Structure 1
Amino acid sequence: MTGEKILIVDDEPNNFDIIEAQLLREKYELSYASSGIKALQRLPLFQPDVILLDVMMPDMDGVEVCQKIKSDPLWSHIPIVAVTALNSKQDMARCLEGGADDFISKPVGGIELRARIRSMLRIKQQYDTLQKQRDALAEMLKLREEMSHMIVHDLRNPIACIIFAGELLKEENTLSELNQKKVERIVNCGHRLQALTNDLLVMAKLESGHLVLHRNTINFCQLAHQTIVDFEPIASQKKIILVPEIPLTRKAVDLDANLFRRVLDNLLSNAIKFSPNNSVVRLRVEYPKNGPIQVRVRISDQGHGVSKELQEIIFQKYAVGSLVEGIEQIGLGLAFCKMIVEAHGGQIFVEDNQPKGATFILEI
């Protein structure tokens, strides 16, 4: 036996005998189903490589059977040859539209039948080969992703040691002013690496569905104010003015404060990083009166802005905006923001900030 399995679906047993005789030389493994319902029940038991499907059957005709098979991801790859006594082009088109891969007219000729089955088997073989390649690629990508997550996780300890050692060195009174600045730079870079590894781990948990949001009812305005205060020393280095447009209200919002603070940190850091010296960055908080939105945040800068083309992809992993000399761009910060905002059931997008710059808007 060649091993290829052919399922023959026909309400007339005599038709099965005819097809069996015509395929005898090929030594296929044949199975017979006398109705569409029995054919569907036979699929997981027999797992055919090709299906010969009679169109004119009572209860459930061949087109309906074909549609059910092709709509199931487990069986949609199996080639189906519609066997029909119908000869009009409309009837043949109906079979093809129902999902049939080919058709053959009754009375069935042996030479044509064998040729069409061989053709369908080649298609099935090509599909199986492609599926194996896809499975191997998916397995390789999964392994690489798991290794990346392990490496990122293992980086946390040495980074923490670098920060701890740097903090100890900062307390040394014997360091020169130049060495003190170098130590401060080491500590700052350590904190940046720590934040990046934490973001990568959060993203990995989000993608795997293992991240649990620790929601609390918080004063969002207070969170936004604190973010502005923490970034003022960084902004002052470029003589950038941070303008808070935050209402005086204690209105509460339900969210994970730690993760959402990191979203604000990412957006405000980007706004400062991509803004020119002596410019303005605004953080605006709004509480819409109508609709499902609890809070809307706008962070606007006066930088190069984001083109219409980039606005469509800027939140994808490793996507970066316009390259700016002297500014490091990895392409993970905005992807992280998008994941966190969407995990809260919100959305984030970017618009032009007239007359110049970009405005990142998030809504929860």
Structure 2
Amino acid sequence: MNSAKILIVDDEPNNFDVIEAQLLEEKYELSYASSGIKALQRLPLFKPDVILLDVMMPGMDGVEVCQKIKSDPQWSHIPIVAVTALNSKQDMARCLEGGADDFISKPASSIELRARIRSMLRIKQQYDTLQQQRDTLADILRLREEMSHMIVHDLRNPIACILFAGELLKEDSLSELSQKKVQRIVNCGYRLQSLTNDLLVMAKLESGNLILTQKTIDFGQFSEQTVFDFETIATQKKIRLISEVPSTQKQVNLDPNLFRRVLDNLLSNAIKFSPHNSVVRFRVEYPEQESIQVRIYISDQGPGVSKELQNVIFKKYAVGTVVEGIEQIGLGLAFCKMIVETHGGQIFVEDHPPKGATFILEI
């Protein structure tokens, strides 16, 4: 086991000699800095486990040195014992407020000095143990995430085979009941394919490897086509889907494939969570401010999103109001948030009186 490293900061070399003699039996590795500036320069080279810091030094005093060390995340965990000849409670309080973990008065006995250092070393050891556990957990989580991404990627081929076989079966002369069952298999296959694609895109986003394929499109035409594709689904559920898109042309630069999946997710949710004989509204605005090209409102008359959930609903695997009979995984909105923010926009949710929720996108 390596010896503990003690950095002694004192403008008087004789004091270092005294401390060195007091700690001789402890077999510590000692290093000396004659000023606060030299102590700060010594940190990355020596990497101490404990710092014995004289308070009364010319130029940069010990309290200022302590504040600089504790304000640096790289060194803030190192315990500091302030060594001072000051006896007033105000001076001792000043040392502790500056970030010192303990203090000792001059002249210090060897018994007290060794006890203080041992106490600080226990604190440092606890920190090191926790840090090691945290690093190990981070490695495990990273490995699990990488394995999940590999599995999701490998799922694409069997899903494609299922869809291909399902489409071929639809062309056979099957009974009406069998045709319905095959169609259900195909629908579930496309749903599974969409989920795996979303997971892969999210993985690329989180790793910083996703590259947007942006194009300049007519956003009005883009929006109308999106709503049109959902009209049949809305009609089947007896939901009135209203589109309010300005007739004026608006050229917007975005990744049409990814942004279409965002709108598909939000419209699908709005229809899925709305009751029969209700209204889902899709509205587009072109604000005058330069920072926002397009603002989109998607409103439903479903159970809504509580104030508490509005702050967390866009996190991965978070779900809103649990509705019986409706599948809720908690990936769709997280995917939407990532894509919108990658486009430099934002997404949030508000209440839609008297009932329901409105999801708002700005890009």
Report the TM-score when normalising by structure 1: 0.97
The Cα offsets for residues 70-91 of structure 1, whole Å up to 9 and x where unpaired, read as: 2222222111111112222222
Alpha carbons 1:83, 1:105 under 8 Å: kept? yes
Write the mapping of 1:271-282 to structure 2, written as runs, cut at 5 A.
Answer: 271-282=270-281
Partner secondary structure for residue 182 of structure 1: helix
Alpha carbons 1:245, 1:285 under 8 Å: kept? yes
Aligned position for 1:214:
213
Paired residue type of 1:224:
S
Structure 1 residue 133 displacement after superposition: 0.7
Identify the range of structure 1 (301-310 vs 265-274) with the bigger mean alpha-carbon deviation.
301-310
Identify the range of structure 1 (224-233 vs 34-43) with the bigger mean alpha-carbon deviation.
34-43
- State the aligned residue count: 363
Deviation beyond 4 Å, 4+ runs, structure 1:
none
How far, CA to CA, are the matches of 2:47 and 2:351 in structure 1?
A: 56
Structure 1 residue 2 displacement after superposition: 6.6
**Alignment pair present for 1:340 and 2:330:** no
Aligned position for 1:359:
358
Aligned position for 2:228:
229
Partner secondary structure for residue 83 of structure 2: strand
How far, CA to CA, are the matches of 2:244 and 2:155 in structure 1?
A: 38
Write the mapping of 1:116-131 to structure 2, written as runs, cut at 5 A.
Answer: 116-131=116-131
Aligned position for 1:66:
66
How far, CA to CA, are the matches of 2:93 and 2:362 in structure 1?
A: 49
Structure 1 residue 228 displacement after superposition: 0.7
Alpha carbons 1:301, 1:358 under 8 Å: kept? yes
Alpha carbons 1:49, 1:78 under 8 Å: kept? yes
Paired residue type of 2:352:
N
Aligned position for 1:110:
110
Aligned position for 2:86:
86
Aligned position for 1:287:
286
How far, CA to CA, are the matches of 1:204 and 1:70 in structure 2?
A: 36
Structure 1 residue 93 displacement after superposition: 2.1
Identify the range of structure 1 (27-36 vs 131-140) with the bigger mean alpha-carbon deviation.
27-36
Paired residue type of 1:186:
I
Partner secondary structure for residue 349 of structure 1: strand
Write the mapping of 1:13-162 to structure 2, written as runs, cut at 5 A.
Answer: 13-162=13-162
How far, CA to CA, are the matches of 1:36 and 1:360 in structure 2?
A: 55
Aligned position for 2:302:
303
Structure 1 residue 14 displacement after superposition: 0.3
How far, CA to CA, are the matches of 1:311 and 1:296 in structure 2?
A: 19
Aligned position for 1:12:
12
Aligned position for 1:168:
168
The Cα offsets for residues 130-187 of structure 1, whole Å up to 9 and x where unpaired, read as: 1111111000000000000000010011111111111111122x21111111111111
How far, CA to CA, are the matches of 2:323 and 2:205 in structure 1?
A: 30
Alpha carbons 1:149, 1:201 under 8 Å: kept? yes
Aligned position for 1:190:
189
Alpha carbons 1:79, 1:123 under 8 Å: kept? yes
Structure 1 residue 357 displacement after superposition: 0.8
Structure 1 residue 94 displacement after superposition: 2.1
Alpha carbons 1:352, 1:359 under 8 Å: kept? yes
Alpha carbons 1:159, 1:190 under 8 Å: kept? yes
Paired residue type of 1:356:
K
Alpha carbons 1:2, 1:27 under 8 Å: kept? no
How far, CA to CA, are the matches of 1:291 and 1:83 in structure 2?
A: 58
Paired residue type of 2:306:
S
How far, CA to CA, are the matches of 1:105 and 1:217 in structure 2?
A: 71
Alpha carbons 1:2, 1:28 under 8 Å: kept? no
Which structure 1 residue ranges, 5 or more long, are not aligned?
none
Structure 1 residue 33 displacement after superposition: 1.0
Partner secondary structure for residue 107 of structure 1: coil
Structure 1 residue 330 displacement after superposition: 0.3
Paired residue type of 1:115:
A
Alpha carbons 1:284, 1:297 under 8 Å: kept? yes
Structure 1 residue 68 displacement after superposition: 2.0
How far, CA to CA, are the matches of 1:229 and 1:343 in structure 2?
A: 26
Structure 1 residue 45 displacement after superposition: 2.0
Structure 1 residue 291 displacement after superposition: 4.6
Paired residue type of 2:337:
K
Aligned position for 1:204:
203
Aligned position for 1:350:
349
How far, CA to CA, are the matches of 2:158 and 2:187 in structure 1?
A: 15
How far, CA to CA, are the matches of 1:58 and 1:177 in structure 2?
A: 93
**Alignment pair present for 1:255 and 2:254:** yes
Paired residue type of 1:251:
K
How far, CA to CA, are the matches of 2:339 and 2:351 in structure 1?
A: 23
Q: Structure 1 pair 167/2, CA: closer, same or farther in 2 (3 Å)?
A: closer
Q: Structure 1 pair 291/90, CA: closer, same or farther in 2 (3 Å)?
A: farther
Partner secondary structure for residue 281 of structure 2: strand
Q: Structure 1 pair 337/2, CA: closer, same or farther in 2 (3 Å)?
A: closer
Paired residue type of 1:106:
K
How far, CA to CA, are the matches of 2:86 and 2:290 in structure 1?
A: 57
Structure 1 residue 66 displacement after superposition: 1.5
Alpha carbons 1:246, 1:285 under 8 Å: kept? yes
